[in-house]
């Protein structure tokens, strides 16, 4: 039961207006997941598709969710919510000292001040990479993720291999992503929960003096905001 309750709240972050909306977000979320898994629905429905459709049908019939609400949620996550929001946040933190300070004091408040599509809840924590410390984010239990600022999690984030190995051998996981950090750099691993999500603020790349926030945002990848990557170098986007 605990796992189910966590899953219901997992994809929505800030949303707390009752089971009806929780259920709609949950089904919308797994509908997207199912869509990710199988595009060959004309001839074959995967087991995941069948389960999602059965769940959707029952919840609609019982009046817990509305199909129109589901469509709206799916559209939201396909077109409006994604890592471009996180990139905007990081670029501003690199450019605006007052925003940077607020971000580390209260990340939810800082991000909401930017006027996103949806207000995020009071659960987001920004963690700063420095030459001394590199941060990585994982959810060891399931797949808790800062969806409001990064969109849907990548498949590898939800894999058992990432969830288990990141805790035990973060350096090896980084190597698998092509990242080698100095031996003296400490790697801290943060375990996300339904109540607490983390956003890694990477170090601003050298050679970007005078860049606008829009230019800086082009350097910021989804993976570097999870800690599984580094920002692009200026010559990679020039």
Question: Three-state SS for 212?
Answer: coil
Q: Which listed residue (31, 139, 192, 224) is catalytic?
A: 139
Site string for Fe ion, 80-119 (x = CB under 5 A): ----------------------------------------
Q: Which residue in the set 139, 152, 226, 228 belongs to the binding site for Fe ion (CB under 5 A)?
A: 139
HSE on the CB side for 75, CA within 13 Å? 7
Window contacting Fe ion (CB under 5 A); options: 23-31, 75-83, 122-130, 138-146: 138-146
Q: State yes or no: residue 226 binds Fe ion (CB under 5 A).
A: no
Q: Which is nearer to Fe ion, 143 or 166 (CB)?
A: 143
- Please classify residue 21 by burial: count the beta carbons closer than 10 Å to its beta carbon, then call 0-12 exposed, 13-18 middle and 19+ buried: middle
Among residues 144, 159, 164, 212, the one annotated as catalytic is 144
Using an 8 Å Cβ cutoff, are 104 and 130 in contact? no
Catalytic status, residue 67: no
Q: Pick from 225, 26, 20: which is nearest to 136 by CA?
A: 225
**Which residues have a Cβ under 8 Å from the Cβ of 140 and sit 6 or more positions away?**
163, 164, 167, 191
Site residues for Fe ion, 142-181, by CB under 5 A, read 142-144
Kindly list the residues in this chain that would bind Fe ion in the complex (CB under 5 A): 139, 141-144
């Amino acid at each position: 039961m605990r796992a189910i309750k966590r899953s219901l709240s997992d994809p929505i972050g800030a949303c707390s207006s009752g089971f009806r909306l929780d259920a709609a977000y949950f089904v919308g979320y797994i509908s997207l997941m199912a869509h990710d898994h199988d595009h060959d629905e004309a001839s074959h429905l995967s087991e995941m598709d069948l389960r999602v459709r059965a769940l959707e049908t029952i919840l609609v019939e019982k009046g817990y969710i509305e199909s129109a609400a589901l469509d709206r949620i799916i559209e939201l996550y396909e077109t409006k919510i994604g890592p471009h929001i996180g990139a905007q946040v990081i670029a501003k933190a690199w450019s605006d000292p007052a925003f940077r300070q607020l971000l580390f004091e209260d990340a939810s408040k800082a991000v909401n001040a930017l006027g996103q599509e949806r207000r995020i809840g009071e659960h987001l924590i920004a963690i700063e990479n420095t030459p001394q410390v590199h941060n990585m984010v994982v959810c060891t239990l399931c797949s808790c993720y800062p969806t409001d600022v990064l969109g849907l999690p990548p498949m590898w984030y939800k894999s058992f291999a990432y969830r288990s190995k990141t805790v035990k051998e973060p350096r090896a996981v980084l190597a698998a992503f092509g990242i080698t950090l100095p031996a003296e750099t400490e790697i801290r691993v943060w375990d996300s929960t339904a109540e607490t999500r983390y956003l890694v603020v990477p170090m601003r790349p050298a050679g970007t003096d005078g860049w606008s926030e829009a230019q800086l945002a082009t350097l910021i990848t989804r993976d570097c905001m999870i800690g599984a990557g580094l920002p692009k170098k200026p010559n990679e986007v020039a």
